[in-house]
């Protein structure tokens, strides 16, 4: 996979989810205001949708912005980004699921049966919209999360162990194996001198011959004889 594809996928995914978050935030806030004003209660999915959309709006654009202005930031690491995106798609799935439960139990799947312009019709339509945008945001973030996890793990298996701590923009997701590290040169053992008994015997014989007056190697002739000891007259 080209290293330039994932950064583009991230930019598109974060941009679309941020736009959906803005829509869900407005719908959820209006639903909370509508139900608390006229009925004194609010839907659980509306509160969850408000929190999820706010968190997405504050985090996703910030990740892109920090990655562009600061190199090596903690928020730009792939490991951090995987944790954030995984947490967000779980929240979006929970928001969409609770909205689906509310539509099925309280409002019904067909909002057209309510009087046009009525508060209940408005609440039903906005709940269906939150449900739809919640599922779309979940699918987008899940797809990006799965792609990023797959290609990062594949690069790590091929030797790029530190890719988890790189930015998506700077990481190399090519499947080429990492260059092998230089192996240490094997130690060369010096040969130990071997004991040869024949050499020792020859050396001993040579020393014995030298001690008996044989000429030393490299010299010709007879060795000089020591002078006889002087005799003293007997008295």
Nearest to 107 by CA among 39, 187, 9: 39
Full-model pTM? 0.70
Give the mean pLDDT of 6-20. Answer: 94
Q: Tell me the pLDDT tens digit for each residue of 54-110.
A: 999 999 999 999 988 888 788 889 899 999 999 999 999 999 999 998 877 666 666
Question: Phi, psi (5° rounding) for residue 45?
Answer: -65, -30
What residue has token string 């005799």?
231
Alpha-carbon span 14 to 68, nearest angstrom: 14
Q: In degrees, to the nearest 5, what angle opens at C-alpha 222 toward C-alphas 216 and 228? A: 110
* 166 DSSP 8-state letter: S
Both tokens of 228, joined, read 């006889």
Q: Tell me the pLDDT tens digit for each residue of 159-171.
A: 777 888 888 887 7
What average pLDDT is seen over the chain? 78
- Cα-Cα-Cα-Cα dihedral of 166, 168, 170, 176, to 10°? 90
Both tokens of 21, joined, read 């978050």
């Amino acid at each position: 996979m080209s290293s330039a594809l994932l950064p583009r996928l991230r930019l598109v995914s974060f941009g679309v989810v941020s736009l959906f978050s803005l829509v869900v935030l407005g719908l959820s806030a209006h639903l909370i205001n509508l139900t608390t004003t006229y009925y004194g209660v609010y839907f659980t999915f509306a509160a969850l949708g408000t929190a999820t959309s706010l968190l997405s709006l504050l985090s996703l654009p910030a990740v892109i912005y920090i990655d562009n202005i600061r190199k090596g930031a903690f928020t730009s690491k792939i490991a951090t980004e995987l944790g954030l995106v995984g947490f967000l798609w779980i929240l979006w799935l929970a928001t969409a699921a609770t909205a689906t439960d509310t539509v099925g139990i309280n409002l019904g799947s067909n909002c057209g049966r309510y009087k046009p312009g009525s508060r209940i019709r408005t609440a039903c339509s906005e709940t269906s919209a939150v449900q739809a945008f919640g599922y779309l945001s979940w699918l987008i973030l899940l797809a990006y999360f799965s792609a990023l996890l797959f290609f990062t793990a594949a690069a790590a298996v091929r030797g790029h162990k530190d890719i988890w701590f790189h930015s998506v923009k700077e990481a190399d997701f090519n499947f080429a194996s990492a260059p092998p590290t230089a192996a240490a040169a094997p130690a060369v053992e010096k040969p130990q001198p071997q004991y040869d008994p024949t050499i020792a015997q020859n050396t001993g014989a040579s020393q014995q011959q030298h001690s008996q007056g044989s000429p030393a190697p490299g010299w010709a002739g007879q060795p000089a004889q020591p002078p006889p000891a002087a005799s003293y007259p007997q008295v």
